[in-house]
Amino acid sequence: MRRPRELSRTLTSFPARTPTLPPATHTNSYALGGRDILVVEPATPYEEEQRAWIAWVRGLASAGRRLVAIVATHHHPDHVGGIDVLAREVGAPVWAHAATRDRLNSPVDRLLEDGETLVLEGPVDEAWQVLHTPGHAPGHVCLWEARSRTVVVGDMVASEGTILIAPGDGHMATYLVELRRLAGLGARLALPAHGAPVDEPTALFERYVSHRLMREDKVMAAVRTQGGSPAELVPVAYDDTPIGLWPIAELSLRAHLEKLVEEGRVEEDAEGYRAVG
């Protein structure tokens, strides 16, 4: 079992085992604030991990810090798997975006909106701005603290594993817009849900955009040269990806195709996808 990690006097991470996409195995929760605190990600569904998570949060309270709320960045199971148990055991309200609330079977006590500021009082007050960043999930939010230039990024990027943009929940064009928004913050530290803190987040956000556009070019080339169904396009568009990952790659490919269809560059017919013009 992993243990809490003090990142600064007002910032702690707690990685808990979750049913997330490999190679990642854990989801990070974060405690933000010096006296008032927010805890981000009620993630783990596993009882042993939940006991450790609860002990961690209670330990923060016993040290004189006041738990204001638990924030869910979005509704995916590896981020809200313990939401009912953890909120009840530590006696905290749950805050999330309305689009996350609509996808949960659990109550949300406060709806977060893009641009609002959550002030945490302490020796030095912290002002965490809510950024609604859909694309990976409709209700995904990040939290940005301009004074320290720190951003909690949930599943927008990861330093362990990958970020899946899947049809239904995900929307590739929106995801790219929001990545560029994060790149424009000039952040000094990014706190992802999976993996270690990122010390040069702007470069990482930009690499994510470049990588997705590279993949889009390969998807477009595959459609142009042969066309066909997503299953037929994956071996061409993801020829640099291990075959064992092709089922996940096909989900991402479908998200790219959705974007290309929206842009009028690709069309779908009975035989699959074809380039326009």
> What span, in angstroms and rounded, lies between the C-alpha atoms of 20 and 26?
7
Task: Tell me if 207 is assigned to some domain.
Answer: no
Residue ranges in the chain assigned as alpha helix (H): 47-62, 77-80, 83-90, 98-101, 172-183, 201-225, 230-237, 246-262
The contacts of residue 226 (CB under 8 Å, 6+ apart) are 232, 233, 236
Name the pLDDT band for 1 (thresholds 50, 70, 90): low
3-state secondary structure (DSSP) of residue 144: strand
Q: What is the mean pLDDT of residues 78-87?
A: 98
Stated pTM of the model: 0.96
CA 176, CA 180: separation in Å to the nearest integer? Answer: 6
152-162 per-position pLDDT tens digit: 999 999 998 88
Residues 138 and 234 in one domain: no
Pairing mode, strands 66-71 and 189-192 = unpaired
The pLDDT-based confidence of 95 (bands split at 50, 70, 90) is: very high
Please tell me the distance from the alpha carbon of residue 69 to that of residue 119, in angstroms, as a whole number.
12
Domain that holds residue 242: 212-275
pLDDT band at 62 (very low <50, low <70, confident <90, very high): confident
- Determine what percent of the chain is predicted with pLDDT higher than 90: 95
Q: Which of 165, 199, 233 represents a domain boundary (last residue)?
A: 199
The answer to whether residues 192 and 216 belong to one domain is: no
Q: Which helix (H) or strand (E) holds 121?
A: none
The number of angstroms, rounded, from the C-alpha of 4 to the middle of its chain's C-alpha atoms is 20
83 φ, ψ (degrees, to nearest 5): -55, -45
Q: Which of 199, 222, 240 is where one domain is finished?
A: 199
Residue 206 placed within a domain: no
**In a shared domain, residues 244 and 192:** no
Q: What is the total residue count of the chain?
A: 277
**Does residue 123 sit in the same domain as residue 48?**
yes
Tokens, residue 204 = 């990482």
Of 17-26, 174-183, 212-221, the least confident: 17-26
What is the predicted pLDDT for the residue at 2? 67
| Structure confidence by residue, pLDDT tens digits, 237-268 | 999 999 999 999 999 999 999 999 999 999 99
16-21-24-28 Cα dihedral, nearest 10 degrees: -40
If one counts the domains in the chain, the total is 2
Same structural domain, 181 and 231: no
Confidence of residue 52 (pLDDT cuts 50, 70, 90): very high
SS3 221: helix
CA distance 223 to 8: 49
Domain-embedded: residue 65: yes
Residue 3's pLDDT is what? 85
Tell me whether residue 42 is in a domain.
yes
* 83 and 194 in a common domain: yes
Number of other CB atoms surrounding residue 222 within 10 Å? 22
Classified as helix, coil or strand, 226 is: coil
pLDDT at 151: 98
Give residue 275's pLDDT.
Answer: 97
CA gap 193, 151 in Å, rounded: 11
